[in-house]
Amino acid sequence: MRDITNSPINEKMKLTEQVVKSFRAAKTFRENTQRINSLDFSVQGDTLISSSDDESIFIYDCHNGTPKKSLNSKKYGVDLIHYTHASNTAIHSSTKVDDSIRYLSLHDNKYIRYYQGHEKKVVTLCMSPVDDKFLSGSLDQTIRLWDLRHSVCLGLMHLPGFPVANFDPEGLIFAAGINSDTIKLYDLRSFEKGPFSNFKIEKEARDMNIEWTGIKFSPDGKYILISTSGSMIKLVDSFNGNVLHSFTGHSNVRNIPLEASFTPDSQFVLSGSSDGKIHIWSIEKGTKVAVMNSEHTETIQSIQFNPKLMMFASACQQMIFWLPNMEE
């Protein structure tokens, strides 16, 4: 693996369209026997953690491009894995036994705490960017606010539709998607009073029958990205709720959740596709910048850009690290 990942974004190298187009698959990992269902970079960007349908958890070294550690959750299964603010602990949802969320010590593969309450599969899970709070959303049509230090949830919201939610980059508010047509913004200091803002997102004819499956704030807080069960991603102004762009052109033939992600400088949006290709759009222009062929032979459901280093990762059953081609 070419060791250029020590170059921080916005210092030695900036993300431009030319740099984005130069990204190439640098390292492919084939440790998993089934689909990788989630991945997450550490806050420092030095490691990546992934979970898969075969109950495996792998940790990768981002500087050396090598597997670092493997764990298992055979009894409960594992999905939606996320680092906490400590790189030696993580939270994840369960796929077997019950629908609890579990707080895992990566050092010794032991559970620190369980968070019970959801009555159906957890499909949304995210950590606060600033403290120990986290959000979960379940097919029981509830979103819960938790604190890692307590097993009882801090707040409970009954919301119709596929539950999606996420924190803003300052950890002061969170957004919840309602019925795949409305964004509600809540202040964490007074969320029990209800949302302080509502954005009705008008549906286009081509997205009438698709659900929202994910929601993310951009790192600069200016945008909200809505992933869907179809071949469309919406970019929304986080201050007034206006739809700025509808990103299309990628395929989603099975109508499953495909993760879409921002680059750390909030300039580009990345998404996988059913055909194993990666699509990248410019936020400023609203146009597609690149379509990348890869070694992926199945649908790319998970994709994220490293928060600190010049690299991103994509996953189906294989995991691929992508780096810019320094010779271009």
Task: Band the pLDDT of 327: cuts 50, 70, 90.
Answer: low
Instruction: Report which of 171, 156, 107, 127 is spatially closest to residue 38, judged by C-alpha positions.
Output: 127
The mean per-residue pLDDT over the stretch 213-229 comes to 97
- Is 4 domain-assigned? no
- Is 286 domain-assigned? yes
Task: Band the pLDDT of 22: cuts 50, 70, 90.
Answer: very high
Rg (C-alpha) for the chain, rounded Å, is 19
- Is 11 domain-assigned? no
- Is 178 domain-assigned? yes
Query: Looking at 101-110, 154-163, 202-211, 217-226, which range is the least confident one?
Result: 202-211
Q: What is the pLDDT of residue 80?
A: 97
Total-model pTM: 0.93
Higher pLDDT, 242 or 326: 242
The mean per-residue pLDDT over the stretch 323-327 comes to 81
pLDDT at 5 over 50: no
- Is 223 domain-assigned? yes
- Is 85 domain-assigned? yes
Give the single-character DSSP code of 5. Answer: T
pLDDT at 191 over 50: yes
**Do residues 25 and 322 touch, judged by C-beta distance below 8 A?**
yes
Q: What is the pLDDT of residue 326?
A: 67
Q: What mean pLDDT, rounded, does the chain reach?
A: 92
Q: What is the DSSP string of 102-154?
A: EEEETTTTEEEEEE---SS-EEEEEE-SSSSEEEEEETTTEEEEEETTEEEEE
Q: What is the pLDDT of residue 10?
A: 43
Q: Which SS3 state, helix, strand or coil, does residue 318 take?
A: coil
The mean per-residue pLDDT over the stretch 234-262 comes to 94
H-assigned helices in the chain: 17-21
Q: What is the pLDDT of residue 28?
A: 95
pLDDT at 18 over 80: yes
Summarised one tens digit per residue, pLDDT across range 63-104 is 999 999 999 888 899 999 999 999 899 999 999 989 999 999
Separation CA 328–CA 325 (nearest Å):
6
Domain housing 114: 17-324
Instruction: Report which of 88, 46, 40, 50 is spatially closest to residue 64, judged by C-alpha positions.
Output: 46
- Is 91 domain-assigned? yes
Instruction: Report which of 204, 202, 196, 203 is spatially closest to residue 239, judged by C-alpha positions.
Output: 196
Token pair of 208, please? 């009438």
The mean per-residue pLDDT over the stretch 209-238 comes to 95
Q: SS3 helix, strand, coil % of the chain, rounded to 5?
A: 5, 50, 50
Per the structure, how many domains does the chain have? 1
pLDDT at 328 over 70: no
Q: Which SS3 state, helix, strand or coil, does residue 53 take?
A: coil
* Tally: H helices and E strands in the chain: 1, 28
Token pair of 81, please? 């894995």
Q: What is the pLDDT of residue 34?
A: 93
Separation CA 188–CA 308 (nearest Å):
27
Q: What is the DSSP string of 62-92?
A: TTTTEEEEEEE-TTT--EEEEE-SSTTEEEE
Q: What is the pLDDT of residue 160?
A: 85
Q: What is the pLDDT of residue 224?
A: 98
Sheet strands side by side (includes 89-93): 79-83, 89-93, 101-105, 110-115
Task: Band the pLDDT of 2: cuts 50, 70, 90.
Answer: very low
**Do residues 155 and 191 touch, judged by C-beta distance below 8 A?**
yes
Task: Band the pLDDT of 47: cuts 50, 70, 90.
Answer: very high
Separation CA 92–CA 115 (nearest Å):
10
Task: From residue 291, give the alpha-carbon distance in Å to each of 20, 76, 114, 191, 265.
Answer: 10, 37, 41, 41, 20
- Is 264 domain-assigned? yes
Token pair of 48, please? 């990546």
Task: Band the pLDDT of 4: cuts 50, 70, 90.
Answer: very low
Q: What is the pLDDT of residue 13?
A: 63
CA 17, 21, 22, 26 dihedral sign is: positive
Higher pLDDT, 4 or 125: 125
Summarised one tens digit per residue, pLDDT across range 127-156 is 999 999 999 999 999 999 999 999 999 999
Separation CA 42–CA 290 (nearest Å):
26
How would you classify residue 107: left for phi > 0, otherwise alpha for psi between -120 and 50, otherwise beta?
alpha
**Do residues 123 and 162 touch, judged by C-beta distance below 8 A?**
yes
CATH of the domain at 81: 2.130.10.10
pLDDT at 9 over 60: no
Written as one letter, the residue type at 296 is H
